[in-house]
Chains A and B, each alone.
Chain A
């Protein structure tokens, strides 16, 4: 029985591709200037991850070990091409605004990384779940980065959401504040690096707090035990 909860934790938090592995930085930084673009690329990457993990897992016994990487890359390229054609057909505006970064999913290290590290060694169902969770983790980071940058740089949220979700989505657009002089840095690449740095710092701070709390609980239980190792060293110091 496979531990799906573990896969979920790894993908969404402990081994998050955006915040911990720092993989796929190029699309992460280039397409996260608005929430819509970020969500679009995140979802596309997630679809690619699930499909490639599925296929790689299916063929894992047939592929000779020596040429596995070229085979994986060709599987990934085929899937990405299919996704690109689908986006071209159904979300044309988004396809245009994401541009070169859709075909570039092929070179995204997360995809080849998961194929090599997980899918090529595990059964089909865990591989799909892993792809889904890694993709969700990546999308979450991308979307929060996009949201922060869009709010700072344009004062809006979900600007152009209709390009991703269809014409009804124009109602999603929120105008948070109106300003003549936008904070251009947030939209420019250096802003992406800074916001990503803040996100990573926030994640580390949360982890640290959890760790401290767990340690505190431990020391309390130990203090109740008489003649514990800690008490002895404390008295021995005098």
Chain B
């Protein structure tokens, strides 16, 4: 018979890893629903493929490493990685994209670094970067929102496109991307970037149909839905306010400054906040407890750094969106941030005081 002596703090939070992960995954539901509504249900197929791949590769590598498989699978961390990657990639990307990405996220980024709690990088974002630089064409083929599509979507089109690269009627993805005016559509961020590079101003670029709403048709609602999910997570105390607020605040501040200096060459702050993957990054990706900073002041710095990087890469970089790159670069800076923001131990003098 043994008495277990637990060390302080004795005030025990009932949030187990599995409950935490499950709630974060549940909070993605509004965002997934919005994506389904505006871009077709391709995202559900990606989700299914991602979850199956994640569980299979997690089980396989845990078996190789001689670790208990079922207990680790039940902590739902693999599920969450799969969900985050599936909502980040284009819904009509070929099936092998998501399978390759999820397997890489679980096997290389998470398990080769030592499993849950040891990974330096956010697995979903590292996999996204791998896919983006390896297969740029497939990873940037977002369909226009359904209201702008020239071809009427057939009920089975998402299935056909994901598995055969062609819609059921035989249209290629490029043809499906064509809008009612016969122009190939890209994401709002991509459109703006291309137009600015071609020497047009922001207001000229906003003549495109996709800019009928702030952030782009569909994209604003997807971002609002992720914002709603994120606020629920805050209310449930799954995540803290520091990282999301710092991220959104620094992105808004940077884009506001740029917008005030030159409104013709910079998107408005609202455009930056409600387009691309901003809200997903702020509430679901940057708040990953493993790869984010662990101190309170550090989290503010970490969030602000991601916001700054998102703005810099979107504005000056070669890729239209920057969430994955920004999060990975900030992940690299985490040990440094943690080192300089260590909280004062109780009873010790603050640094510099004698």
Contacts and interface: CB of A to CB of B under 8 A. Distances in A.
A102 B136 CA distance: 32
Interface string B298-338: 00000000000000000000000000000000000000000
A191 to B, nearest CB: 9
Contacts of B136: 184
B134 interface: yes
Contacts of A185: 130, 133-134
Contacts of A183: 134-135
B16 to A, nearest CB: 33
A181 interface: yes
Interface string A189-209: 000001000000000000000
B133 A188 contact: yes
Interface residues of A, number: 6
B152 interface: no
Interface in A171-189: 181, 183-185, 188
B137 A181 contact: yes
Interface residues of B, number: 8
B326 to A, nearest CB: 18
Contacts of A181: 135, 137-138
Contacts of A184: 133-136
B100 to A, nearest CB: 9
Nearest to A152: B134
A234 B134 CA distance: 57
B119 to A, nearest CB: 15
Interface string A155-175: 000000000000000000000
A206 B309 CA distance: 43
A184 B138 CA distance: 13
A183 B136 CA distance: 10
A188 B138 CA distance: 18
Contacts of B134: 183-185
Contacts of B130: 185
Interface string B125-155: 0000010011111100000000000000000
Contacts of A194: 108
Nearest to A186: B134
A84 B137 CA distance: 39
Interface in B86-145: 108, 130, 133-138
Contacts of B133: 184-185, 188
A194 B138 CA distance: 23
B128 to A, nearest CB: 13
B224 to A, nearest CB: 34
A188 B136 CA distance: 13
A170 B136 CA distance: 31
A185 B129 CA distance: 10
A194 B130 CA distance: 12
A30 B135 CA distance: 21
Contacts of B137: 181
Interface in A118-143: none
A181 B108 CA distance: 22
A183 B100 CA distance: 11
Nearest to B94: A181
A52 B148 CA distance: 69
A45 to B, nearest CB: 30
Interface string B160-188: 00000000000000000000000000000
A184 B130 CA distance: 9
Contacts of A188: 133
A185 B108 CA distance: 14
A183 B130 CA distance: 10
Nearest to B135: A181
Nearest to A194: B108
A184 B133 CA distance: 7
A157 to B, nearest CB: 20
Most buried by A among B130, B133, B134, B138: B134
A188 B134 CA distance: 9
B120 to A, nearest CB: 14
Most buried by A among B108, B130, B136, B138: B130
B13 to A, nearest CB: 38
A188 B133 CA distance: 9
A87 B95 CA distance: 46
By Cβ-Cβ distance, the 8 closest A-B pairs, closest first, are: A185-B134, A184-B134, A181-B135, A183-B134, A185-B130, A185-B133, A184-B133, A181-B138
14 contacts: A181-B135, A181-B137, A181-B138, A183-B134, A183-B135, A184-B133, A184-B134, A184-B135, A184-B136, A185-B130, A185-B133, A185-B134, A188-B133, A194-B108
Interface of A: 181, 183-185, 188, 194
Interface of B: 108, 130, 133-138
Given A181-B137, A184-B133, 12 more contacts: A181-B135, A181-B138, A183-B134, A183-B135, A184-B134, A184-B135, A184-B136, A185-B130, A185-B133, A185-B134, A188-B133, A194-B108
